[in-house]
Structure 1
Amino acid sequence: MGGLREMAAPFVARGPSGVAVRDRFKHLTAEDEKMLRLVGDHLGSLASRDLKERCAAGLEHDSKQWAHRKRALTKESSSRWAGSITKTSHDQWALARRGQLAHIQSLEAGVRTITHRLSLPLGEKGTNRAPGGYRSKREWFAKARRQGLLTDRLEVACRDREAGRVCVVRGGKRLLNTRHHLDTARLTEAEWRQRWQAGRRFLAANGESGSRFGNQTIRVTPHGEVSLKLPAPLAHLANAPHGRYVLAARVRFAHRGGQWRDRVTANRAVAYRIHEDTVRGRWYLTASWTISPVQTVPLAAARVGGLIGVDTNADHLAAWRLDAHGNPVGQPLRFDYDLTGIAQHRDAQIRHALLRLLHWAKRHGLAIAVEDLDFTAETTREKHGCKKRFRKLISGMPVARLRARLVSMAAELGITIIAVDPAYTSRWGAQHWQKPLTSTTRKTTRHDAAAVAIGRRALGHPIRRRTTPPPQHRSDAVGHRTVQARPEAPGREGNRPRIPGPRTRSVPPGRGANAVDQNAQHRSGRSAEHESWQQDSLPLSL
């Protein structure tokens, strides 16, 4: 037990701090599409230039440089467009810095793992906590070369981070690399160019409380009318007063439409983003705003009445309901999803599985316990180099997306989410719960047992079951249950109810009626005991 790491305490996950809804522009005219492309291309060129200046400033960027960048953009657009562009550039730079740090940590983990495996003799077996040595001299030599390669990459990445240099591609690095593999992607150069231009357009505006309908740049009325404040060079193309262009299409936001309408009616801030889906030939408007943090329920209150333990897997969610004492109740449930196909299909599969899980928890009024998973160190090929199927299995698990979806959807239904440490839940669950929960009518899987272990850890109970006492210390000849009723449980010493129906053997009438009535049996120290040495009680008439 000395080699086990310290377990983190379970905690109640916080709810989302913002929401976003999307609606499609229907009946958009050709003039409207032309205007959107014209404005988006003009602002996209300004955003590219501003992002270049922000990346060149690096760590020496300050508020004065930010103000200088905004004044330079205001001349070619407007004050509010310039504010949205500069803030987006700063957010992209900060996101690139976080990705750079994650890349450095991944390289460090790879170099550390290779160094450890190179120091071991060939063929030495590994443990559950550390991999073993390499299998052959050929593999050892190849990994020694890779160690040098990763070390060089790590040095370059560390120098870039110290200097504040980051790499950002407006439009997406994946789409940029697709330009060199058009045959594989089944795209023509014209189709790729259309996607590239759509990805580099800038049509986003931050909201402002107090402004009319919550946004002065991209304004959406409660009735769905959309208008844009045109940049200064394009102001002569306006079809409405004050340099605005009103689109012919309307939006209505079927999801959260009431919340959005209340915000714009009260002139509260709402941010908007317009983008084109070149594959479908559609235009979309996304509205987003911040919400007050959901008041979390105390951990002790979430544990009252039990909860549902959920084990996350590559193709399904294994769930089992537990009572307040950590005992499994009912039958385990499995919520399947298919993560093959396009991103929209995978996202829909996750949503449907979570929705079924949340509705089950809502019917019983229970909280949900999940693992606080992070596979950053487990997906590296340096630790599981020869186990490609295992690496693919772990990499395919939608940990981050599933966690974000679960928290946001649970907040809408008022369900509490408890996050627990994932250490040893699968191993200990299979060791202590898989076999006892398996019967002739139920086959308990390793994932079902892991769900029980997760739920018990969230309830504050140890995963290990109560040890059965030795035979000489049992009250019955066949041994009593390991999970017993509590002392205050009513009727725990009462008679067992008679089960109607035929019996397999002949039992005299009345036999067994007082099977647990200690006073009605000849037991030592009981009132029914009557031996030759015991004196009869005196009659009351004397």
Structure 2
Amino acid sequence: MGGLREVADPFVAPGPTGVAIRTGLKGLAGQDVMALRLVGGQMGSLASRDLKARCAAGLAHDSDQWAQRKRALTGQSSSRWAGSVTKATHDQWALARRGQLAHIQNLQAGVDMITGRLSLPVGAKGCKGSPGGYRSRREWFAKSRRLRLLEDRLERERADREAGRVRVVRGGRKLLRNRHNLQAAQMSEAKWRVRWEAERWFLRADGESGKRYGNETIRVSPDGEVSIKLPAPLAGLANRPHGRYVLACRVGFRHRGEQWADRVAANRAVAYRIQYDVERDRWYLTASWQTPPVRAVPLEAVRSGGLVGVDTNADHLAAWHLDIHGNPVGAPRRFDYDLTGCASHRDAQARHALIRLLHWAKRYGAAIAIEDLNFQAEKTREKHGRRKRFRRLISGMPVSRLRGRLVSMAAELGITVVSVDPAYTSRWGAQHWQKSLTGKRRKTTRHHAAAVAIGRRALGHPIRRRTAPPPHDRSDRAGHRTVQAASGIPGREETRPRVPGPRTRSVGAGRGAKAGDQCAHNRLGHTAEHESWHQDSLPLSH
């Protein structure tokens, strides 16, 4: 095995920097729903106009243009509404820029893959990690045409990035495309219109410390009263002084409700967002605020109590507890989840699996080691074009969502998360640990062996083990080959060098230091046999 890539060092994953909680707006009156729709539509149109101005500015945007955009919106809303709109549109433009860069990298990976495969002979077999040539001349020709198409797309995207142009759709590009194929989307035109308008509404307000209850635009009092500062064109709908509209319902947060109440009582900043779920016909209120960064625990302190290695798979989490020396302790665990169905069901399944994993790890007082996975480069159609099932498998693994959920949920329980490089963990785990951990009463899976490999890498121990020595009287008397390499030795994760010569201490015939000295042997035709032989005289006895 050669050509191994460099393995990055494990690190402690940073904790969450914000909190978001949600509750339902139950008991809204008809006048409340009408007011929310009007405010959302008014601010949504202003957000669309501001997004157009931000995209037109491109890379030449500066603080003066930002202030100019805010002044243009203040007259038709308020200064705080305008501030929230300009910040949201700027964040949306920045997100589009990051997506544009990821798309360029994906196109470049496809171009490189096709170029490499086209350079190989038709039918050439590939090696581990890289595919071979195309199977037929017909496929080779089709891929050569696709290469030109990808190169044209890559050139256009690079030109747009250099010019600062981005393409953003308020409401979502997927929903926009559904309008052209309503039958496949299983939606009527009226239903699509309602959903499209709801997605384009803007009902969010940034918090402000020092103001009453932490927000002047959307205010929620400690007793649950929700009031909204109406934009200037809708001031006639106000049912309270100073152009405010108070909803008829009261709200309360079950999750982190005490934290929210403490912030509101202290007039600390809390941002709010009101959303409408078309499918359920319900309104929701989301509160969010920033939290101080959690001080990272040194990696050596995390290792002192052992770790729980976790291998992420498409339908379950495989975990195994390891002690400080990297030895598996107890029985492995499997936490299943089902990622089929709607987004809320998938999210609930992931959270349920993670909370069971965290409670199990907390029982041992151990940290959690997880792979820092990223399948963006592995999901390319050019690399796994015929392996559609494998592409769907890795595309369905919610690695980023699971990692984000795990870090935020672990911070609440005081559990540290260690991220490790995923290189060769599955391969080496199955090669060196699956068979040795399998017994008559326990069958170790490949995924649990990978969990052991992940935990050992997080602890700083090598994954691969020396092969067991042969029995006595066959080799070197059970020698040194089971000794582990220390953590400070460079190249300990690399392959063992091939030592020339015999593998044992006993030297075979013709291989010793005097193998070329024919004078040391009594063989036919040797010079010693042609010499004259003399016998010494024997002493005569008296």
**Same fold, judged at TM 0.5 (above):** yes
What per-residue deviation string (whole Å, max 9, x for no partner) do you get for residues 343-390 of structure 1? 111111110111110000011100010000011110001111111111
**Pairing 1:195–2:195 present:** yes
2:440 paired with 1:455: no
- Partner-residue secondary structure (3-state), 2:393: helix
Q: Distance in 2 between matches of 1:42 and 1:136?
A: 58
Q: For residue 390 of structure 2, what is the amino acid of its counterpart?
A: F
SS at match of 1:471: coil
Distance in 1, matches of 2:466 and 2:417, equals 27
| C-alpha distance in 2 between matches for 1:478 and 1:120 | 47
Moved more, 122-131 or 34-43: 122-131
What amino acid is the match of 2:396? G
Per the TM alignment, residue 472 of structure 1 is displaced from its structure 2 partner at its CA by 3.5
Q: Larger deviation: 1-10 or 40-49? A: 1-10
The match for 2:408 is: 408
Name the structure 2 match of 1:51: 51
The equivalent residue for 1:82 is 82
1:204-243 pair list within 5 angstroms = 204-243=204-243
User: Which range moved further: 311-320 or 122-131?
Assistant: 122-131
The residue number in structure 2 matching 1:110 is: 110
Counterpart residue identity of residue 401, structure 2: R
Q: Call closer, same or farther: CA 1:481–1:249 in 2, change over 3 Å.
A: farther
Tell me if 1:180 matches 2:180: yes
Q: How does 1:294-309 map to 2 (within 5 A)?
A: 294-309=294-309
- 1:478 and 1:47 map into 2 onto residues whose CA distance is 75
Question: SS of the residue aligned with 2:140?
Answer: helix
In the alignment, the residues of structure 2 paired with residue 101 and residue 19 of structure 1 have an alpha-carbon distance, to the nearest angstrom, of: 28
Letter of the 1:161 partner, please give it: R
Rounded to whole Å, the distance in 2 between the matches of 1:75 and 1:408 is 40
Distance 1:108 1:465 in 2: 38
2: CA distance, partners of 1:414 / 1:127 = 45
Partner of residue 370, structure 2: 370
1:66 alignment partner in structure 2? 66
Partner of residue 266, structure 2: 266
Amino acid at match of 2:36: L
Residue identity opposite 2:21 in structure 1? V
- TM-superposed CA distance for 1:212, in Å, is 0.5
Per-residue CA distance 1:473-508 (angstroms, 9 max, x = gap): 99xx99999699xxxxxxxxxxxxxxxxxxxxxxxx
Provide the C-alpha distance between the structure 1 equivalents of 2:5 and 2:178, rounded to a whole number of angstroms: 44
1:240 is paired with a residue whose SS is: coil
Q: What is the identity, as a one-letter code, of the residue corresponding to 1:458? A: A
Q: How far is the alpha carbon of 1:469 from its aligned partner? A: 3.5
Equivalent residue letter for 1:443:
K
**1:99 counterpart residue number:** 99
Distance in 1 between the 2:442 and 2:134 partners? 42
Distance 1:44 1:285, change over 3 A: same
Aligned to 2:124: 124
SS at 1:472's partner residue? coil
| CA positional deviation for 1:180 | 1.2
**CA contact 2:472–2:478 (8 Å) conserved in 1:** no
Question: Distance between the aligned counterparts of 2:456 and 2:478, measured in 1?
Answer: 28
The residue identity in structure 2 corresponding to 1:456 is R
Aligned match of 2:142? 142
SS in 2 for 1:390: helix
Summarize deviations over 1:114-142 as a string: whole Å, max 9, x none: 00000001111112221111111111111
Indicate if the aligned counterparts of 2:314 and 2:397 stay in contact, CA closer than 8 A. Answer: yes
- CA deviation vs aligned residue, 1:276-304 (integer Å, no higher than 9, x gap): 11111110000000001112211111111
Partner of residue 323, structure 1:
323
Instruction: Find the residue that maps to 2:138 and give its secondary structure.
Output: helix
Counterpart of 1:520?
Answer: none
Mapped partners of 1:337, 1:128: distance in 2:
31
CA contact (8 A) 1:367 1:416 kept: yes
Aligned to 1:354: 354
Q: Distance in 2 between matches of 1:358 and 1:64?
A: 48
Residue 515 of structure 1 aligns with which residue? none
CA distance in 2, matches of 1:473, 1:316: 47
Counterpart amino acid of residue 81 in structure 1: W
Q: 5 Å matches for 1:9-28? A: 9-28=9-28
Which residue number corresponds to residue 280 of structure 1? 280
Q: Is the 8 A contact 2:32 2:247 kept in 1?
A: yes
1:225·1:251 contact (CA, 8 Å) conserved in 2? yes
Residue type at the aligned position of 1:368: I
| Letter aligned with residue 150 of structure 2 | L
Shift of 1:466: 4.4
CA distances 1:69-103 after superposition (whole Å, capped 9, x unpaired): 10010000000000000011100000000000000
Work out the CA distance in 2 between the residues paired with 1:481 and 1:61.
Answer: 64
Is the CA contact (8 Å cut-off) linking 1:100 and 1:166 kept in structure 2? yes
Distance in 2 of aligned mates of 1:481 and 1:162: 56
Q: Which residue of 2 aligns with 1:339?
A: 339
Cα deviations across residues 179-233 of structure 1 (Å, max 9, x unaligned)? 1121122211111100001000101000000010000000000111000001111
Alignment match, 2:507: none
Conservation of the 8 A alpha-carbon contact between 2:469 and 2:478: no
Residue number in structure 1 paired with 2:494 = none
When the two chains are superposed, the root-mean-square deviation of aligned CA atoms in Å is 1.7
1:426–1:446 CA contact under 8 A, matched in 2: yes
Q: List runs of 5+ in structure 2 lacking aligned partners.
A: 485-542
Tell which deviates more after alignment, 179-188 or 89-98.
Answer: 179-188
Aligned pair count? 482
Correspondence list, 1:514-525, <5 A: none
Measure, in 1, the Cα distance between the counterparts of 2:334 and 2:191: 42
SS, match of residue 103 in structure 1: helix
Work out whether 1:167 is the aligned partner of 2:167: yes
Show the 5 A alignment for 1:394-473. Answer: 394-472=394-472
| 2:374 alignment partner AA | D
| Residues 150-195 of structure 1, C-alpha deviations (whole Å, 9 max, x = no match) | 0000001001101111011011111111111211222111111000
The gaps in structure 1 that reach 5 residues or longer are: 485-542
Distance in 2 separating the partners of 1:229 and 1:91: 23
Contact 1:471 1:479 in 2 (8 A): no
Q: Deviations over 1:16-71 (max 9, x none)?
A: 00010000001000000000000110110000000000001111111111101100
The equivalent residue for 2:255 is: 255
